[in-house]
Amino acid sequence: MLPDPMTPIRFGRLLLTGAAGNLGRELRPRLRRYCDTLRLSHRRDFGPAEPGEEIVLAHLENKAAMLALLEGVDAVVHMGGVSTEQPWQPILESNIVGAYNLYEAARHHRVWRIVFASSNHVTGFYRQDQVISPRDPARPDGLYGLSKAFGEDLAQLYFDRFGIETVSLRIGSSYAEPKDRRMLATWLSFDDLERLVVAALTAPVVGHSVIYGISDNATTWWDNTPARHVGYRPQDSSDTFRAAVEARQPRIDLDDPAARYQGGAFVRTGPFEDQA
């Protein structure tokens, strides 16, 4: 958690979806400071609410449940849905139908700001020696990345047509620390994740903005210049962990596509059906 909150701007009721997921669990205690009530949602039960929280379980693909979930909400941090490469059916339900249900509910209830957990896998098929920006065309590396590209286009539509503002966070690798050499480029610390989410929630004008979620790493493939209006300034860096990570993984096999493309192992694993 940040020792010194970047902004005191508070929301009345803030919704965090995917509250029991990896990042949801990190954000849950952090976001409580930015709202009167933190509504938490997940697919499955994850225990009781803490003070200042309320819990509403919902399946993303359930339209009525989503409509109920967004009632009375001021803004949404949408971390819910499938967050790894999985078969088409769950991705379709949670990330495509689910995203549509979320935006329809936001439109119905006039929720004007959504922070959408997109993913670097939207552009995972660029090479690791390319530096791209949020304006470069999507090159998803699997069904998961494809579904996140869909979510971003959906967010653009709901802004252009209905004025609902979204910041799509193309999150890199958000873990306690970088686990391998790819993450030296893609790592997002939990504190920087909080900074990013809060900046995305409170920036005065965002339309639909796309920003990569990374800490201040020396190595990067992503140029966030077009998103500087969001006001995100990372304060952590994978550089601290570089020596240890390189020692653990001194060699990289460039014949492996996972080593050449930004998406890493996502470019070669996955649920395509007649693959073993």
Name the residues annotated as catalytic.
Answer: 144
Cα separations in angstroms, 13 against 38, 96, 147, 264: 6, 25, 28, 37
Contact 28, 193 (CB under 8 A): no
List 3, 45, 204, 276, residue binding a copy of itself (CB under 8 A): 204
**Closest CB to a copy of itself among residues 31, 267:** 267
**Residue 88 binds to a copy of itself (criterion: CB under 8 A):** yes
Asked if 126 contacts 136 with a C-beta cutoff of 8 angstroms, the reply is: yes
Question: How many beta carbons lie within 10 A of that of residue 229, not counting itself?
Answer: 14
The verdict on 135 binding a copy of itself (CB under 8 A) reads: yes
The verdict on 81 binding a copy of itself (CB under 8 A) reads no
Which range in 27-35, 37-45, 49-57, 95-103 contacts a copy of itself by CB under 8 A?
95-103
Q: Of 19-27, 44-52, 126-134, 169-177, which segment contacts a copy of itself by CB under 8 A?
A: 126-134
Q: What angle do CA 140, 145, 151 make, to 5 degrees?
A: 115
Q: Could you say which residues in the range 1-20 bind a copy of itself, by CB under 8 A?
A: 5-10
Near a copy of itself by CB under 8 A: residue from 145, 172, 178, 213? 145
- Please name the residue that has the structure tokens 């998803």: 140
Which residues, 6 or more positions from 176, have their beta carbon under 8 angstroms from its beta carbon? 190
Q: Which of 18, 140, 172, 178 binds a copy of itself (CB under 8 A)?
A: 140
Measured CA to CA, the distance from residue 33 to residue 19 in angstroms comes to 16
136 SS3 class: coil
**Residue 128, both tokens:** 């690791």
Q: Judged by CB under 8 A, does residue 198 bind a copy of itself?
A: no
First to last CA, the chain: 42
109 binds a copy of itself (CB under 8 A): no
Q: Which of 181, 211, 213, 236 binds a copy of itself (CB under 8 A)?
A: 181
Decide: 63 and 39 in contact? Cβ < 8 Å: no
Stretch of residues binding a copy of itself (CB under 8 A), selected from 13-21, 22-30, 32-40, 128-136 = 128-136
According to CB under 8 A, which one of 22, 49, 84, 228 is a site residue for a copy of itself? Answer: 228
Query: CA-CA distance, 11 to 5, in Å (whole number)?
Result: 14
Closest to a copy of itself by CB, 19 or 230? 230
212 binds a copy of itself (CB under 8 A): no
The answer to the question of residue 30 lying near a copy of itself (CB under 8 A) is no
